[in-house]
Structure 1
Amino acid sequence: MALIHISKGAMSADISTLGAELQSLKCDGKEYLWQGDPAFWNGRSPVLFPITGRVWNNIYRHGGKEYTLDIHGFARNMEFTPVECGEDSVVLGLRSTEETLESYPFPFMLFITYRLTDRELSVTWFVRNEGKDEMHFQIGAHPAFYIPDFDPNATVRGYFSFDSEETPSYLIPLEKGCVKPEETHAMVLDENGMLPITAHTFDIDTYVMDSRRIHSCTLHSADRVPYLTVKFDMPVLALWAPTNKRSDCPFVCIEPWCGSCDTVGYDGEFSGRRVMNSLASGEFFSNTYKICL
């Protein structure tokens, strides 16, 4: 495992080769990324691949066989290889192995590019099908950010806002971390169209949101001052914080996904899961999200 440092003007970022995980994101010397205190959650910004969320009972089916995958897949626990390293950008790559093929029978190549510009970090995924058969996968982000000027004694610690004029809808992970698509909820926003962050906002665990009409999510301070914005063009946005473990949790996760949790009780083919991506042999997939400070 190695740590790769990139910088651009007032911006800097550190990326680990383990999981190609962002470890630090600073602007003018201020840290914006959660630093992984295990008392709350030891992650910082894991890459979710080849699934986002869970498959039912951690088991899925493909081509008449059963395979096992744990929550969010295996990429976050694997060593990536630096492919290109520059002053303000880095590209890391991960290729399928005999071990990954045992739990995920699709040869693949995954590249992740981190690039700094003026007060912005862009993260680009590039997935290529290296096999002869059609490949099915999901991919997602899981960055955690400090809540600005966090006060654990405040009734409202901060806010989320969205760029959609419509009230966002969401699903709740239920039994074994899976969802019931028919049980859609309308998000309860305040008079300013914002979602307050309180000690109980995440009592439901995770908001799995339909983001086809949402392309940005902004984190605000308790005074409603914009702090950072995550921009994306993906079908799902997840919001999460482990307040079920600690009510004084000082961070939140803003997670754009090209994927979703499995449906409760789903026992069909892997390709038929909710929000799947498919590639023919030799084809590639690419998507980008941005963290704007």
Structure 2
Amino acid sequence: MRRTIENATLLVEIADDGAELSRIYDKVNDREIIWNGDAAYWGRHAPVLFPNVGKNFANKYIHQGTEYATKQHGFARDTAFTCAAQTGYSVTHEMKSTEETRKYFPFDFLLRITHTLEENRLSVSWNIVNTGKEEMHFTIGGHPAFQFENIEDTKDWYKLKFPGKDALVYRLLDTETGTAREKLYELKLEKESCALSDEMFEKDALIFDGGQISDVILCRKDGTALVEMTCPGFPNFGIWSVQGAPFVCLEPWMGRCDDYGFAGEISTKPGIISLFAGEVFEKSYTIKIW
């Protein structure tokens, strides 16, 4: 089931499955903002990545000496959430730990995801409570895919603008393991912008660490702004697409995939979020439609 919130500017749909943002319709400009989910390219819209962003090395992690099997981006995106509250302008979904989740993630938690609409902006908020008795370790991220204005458009009709930046540094994924390689590459910008192309994604996603990206705008080639993502305080960010696909994913992450070869305790993973019993984690990002 999808939950609908709307105002005079935007209509938004959020699915109970995965608490996934499934649609943003721009009423003013008569255009769809979120990727339509055509499985010929990618069958999702904007999944929530929890309790792990990306992959763990060898698809497993270690907690207190015990190995746990994992899959890319965790299990939240494939789990049915409960709609806990809804108004005309916001909807809150929640998921609790179960015997099934503990097979992969041995912690007790409550995850709440709230989508709130205000004028031409949608905020996505995460609230995670450690309901167990031991320290919990996780990462969480967004994965919204923004559709091009016309389905036949190619990437070279668009560019990304990073306000206040003249260059960025990124890592690439090891294609066999889906984990981050150590080598750094420079993304040079011209007037704070870089052109999109299929070549950018020949080795999957671009990974930006160090809190480099807190604001990014998808623009037409002529510089006209279409969609803006603001995510202050996020240490990691991913940019991804599929070869030939008419969309780009702008992904704010709190933590990311493992470094290539990482085999330590999950508590020692760089960028891991740790919550003591009873503690609450909160974070949000905003999508603005120009």
Superposed displacement of residue 238, structure 1: 0.2
Question: Separation in 1 of the partners of 2:74 and 2:212?
Answer: 27
1:211/1:254 Cα in 2 relative to 1: closer, same or farther (>3 Å)? Answer: farther
Report the count of equivalent residues. Answer: 285
Shift in alpha-carbon separation, 1:225–1:129, aligned structure 2, 3 A: same
Shift of 1:149: 4.4
Q: For residues 37 and 155 of structure 1, do their structure 2 counterparts lie closer, same or farther at Cα, with a shift above 3 Å needed?
A: closer
How far is the alpha carbon of 1:265 from its aligned partner? 1.0
d(CA) in 2 for partners of 1:213, 1:179: 17
Aligned counterpart, 2:252: 256
CA contact (8 A) 1:6 1:13 kept: yes
CA distance in 2, matches of 1:166, 1:15: 36
Match of 1:231 in 2: 230
Find the aligned partners of 1:199 and 1:264 in 2 and give their Cα distance.
25
Give ranges in structure 1 of 5+ residues lacking alignment: none
Distance 1:136 1:60, change over 3 A: same
User: Would you say 1:114 and 2:115 are equivalent positions?
Assistant: yes
Q: Deviations over 1:63-105 (max 9, x none)?
A: 1100011000000000100111101100000000000001100
Q: Is the 8 A contact 2:198 2:242 kept in 1?
A: no
2:282 paired residue among 278, 286, 290 = 286
Q: Report how far residue 211 of structure 1 moved.
A: 5.2
Partner of 1:95: 96
SS of aligned partner of 2:177: helix
Deviations 1:186-239 (A, max 9, x none): 1132x3231111231211211111251421110011222111100002001100
Match of 1:168 in 2: 168
1:9 aligns with 2:5: no
Counterpart-to-counterpart distance in 2, 1:24 and 1:66: 37
Instruction: Please state if 1:56 is matched with 2:57.
Output: yes
TM-score for the superposition, normalised by structure 2: 0.95
Calculate percent identity across the aligned residue pairs: 34
Q: Using a 3 Å threshold, how does the CA distance of structure 1 residues 7 and 111 change in structure 2: closer, same or farther?
A: same
Unaligned stretches of 5+ in structure 2?
none
Residue matched to 1:268: 264
The Cα of 1:40 is off from its aligned counterpart by 0.3
Report the RMSD for the aligned CA atoms in angstroms. Answer: 1.4
* 258-267 vs 41-50, which moves further: 258-267
CA spacing shift, 1:132–1:278, aligned 2, 3 Å: same
Q: Distance in 1 between matches of 2:236 and 2:66?
A: 28
- State the SS of the aligned residue for 2:201: coil
- Cα distance in 1 for partners of 2:270, 2:145 equals 24
What stretches of structure 1 move > 6 A for 4+ residues in a row?
none
CA distance in 1, matches of 2:79, 2:272: 22
Q: 2:238 is paired with a residue of what secondary structure?
A: strand
Amino acid at match of 1:52: V
Amino acid across the alignment from 2:283: N
Amino acid at match of 2:60: I
In the alignment, which residue of structure 2 is the partner of 1:140?
141
- Offset of 1:172 from its aligned partner? 0.4
